[in-house]
């Protein structure tokens, strides 16, 4: 697991290759196996594989979403924000599990943030995504995870990247190492 965590990096360039059905199924499982507060699972997910929709989703934000146009898949993470106040924690934990599972299958992924971001001067990125995918108004859109076969290589993290100075032992300020 530590090796996987060291290796996983955000991938924003993807090969023009579709994902196999079993890989899609595993990503669905990873999301649905995530822990959630009181096991309430206040989430829904939209798996977008349609090229036209991915190209339009890539314009959800002026910056930070363009690479969705080449992804094989965009997983839209929705929260039942009217039902559970932990919907952000619950959906984002599911999201990172999907990213780690993607990496474990040789896929690359990157988070595209949507909540509290703008599409343009007047429309939120959330409203843009909701209208495009016909998502009910009461749902909240957290992010979209772009997934595909990587077309870029990134160095794994090393020990030197780890900021041990942010970790304390017993009392704040007492350095862990
Ligand atoms: C909450 C969150 C929001 C992010 N939003 C975006 C985004 O909108 N666009 C993007 O290109 N990357 C986004 N990222 C990816 C981060 O930029 C990336 O994880 C960070 O730079 C560390 O790089 P690494 O994932 O390769 O370790 C986001 C990551 C997180 C956790």
Topology annotation, domain 2-166:
NADH Oxidase (3.40.109)
**Quick check: CB of 27 below 6 Å from ligand 1?**
no
Q: Kindly report, residue by residue over 60-97, the tens digit of the pLDDT.
A: 999 999 999 999 999 999 999 999 999 999 999 999 99
Residue 13 in contact with ligand 1 by CB distance below 6 A: no
What is the number of the ligand 1 atom nearest to the C-alpha of 67?
Answer: 11
Give 6-55 pLDDT, tens digit per residue. Answer: 999 999 999 999 999 999 999 999 999 999 999 999 999 999 999 999 99
Question: For atom 26 of ligand 1, which residue has the closest CA?
Answer: 9
pLDDT tens string 20-30: 999 999 999 99
Could you state, in order of their start, the residue ranges of all structural domains in the chain? 2-166
Dist CA 17 CA 1 (whole Å): 27
Cα 92 to chain centroid distance, Å, stands at 7
Q: Which atom of ligand 1 is nearest to the CA of 113?
A: 8
Provide the pLDDT for residue 174: 97
- Residue 39, Ramachandran bin (φ over 0: left; ψ between -120 and 50: alpha; else beta): left
């Amino acid at each position: 697991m530590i090796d996987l965590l060291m290796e996983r990096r955000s991938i924003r360039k993807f090969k023009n290759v579709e994902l196999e059905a079993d890989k899609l199924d595993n990503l669905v499982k990873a999301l649905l196996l995530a822990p959630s507060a009181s096991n309430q699972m206040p989430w829904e997910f939209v798996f977008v594989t349609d090229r036209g929709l991915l190209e339009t989703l890539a314009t959800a934000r002026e910056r930070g979403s363009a690479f969705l146009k080449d992804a094989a898949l965009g997983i839209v993470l929705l929260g039942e924000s009217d039902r559970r106040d932990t919907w952000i924690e619950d959906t984002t934990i599911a999201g990172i599990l999907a990213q780690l599972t993607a990496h474990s299958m040789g896929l690359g992924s990157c988070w595209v943030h949507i909540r509290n971001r703008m599409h343009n001067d007047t429309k939120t990125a959330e409203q843009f995504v909701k209208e495009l995918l016909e998502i009910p108004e009461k749902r909240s859109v957290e992010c979209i995870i772009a997934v595909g076969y990587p077309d870029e290589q990134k160095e794994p993290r090393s020990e030197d990247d780890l900021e041990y100075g942010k970790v304390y032992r017993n009392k704040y300020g007492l350095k862990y190492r």
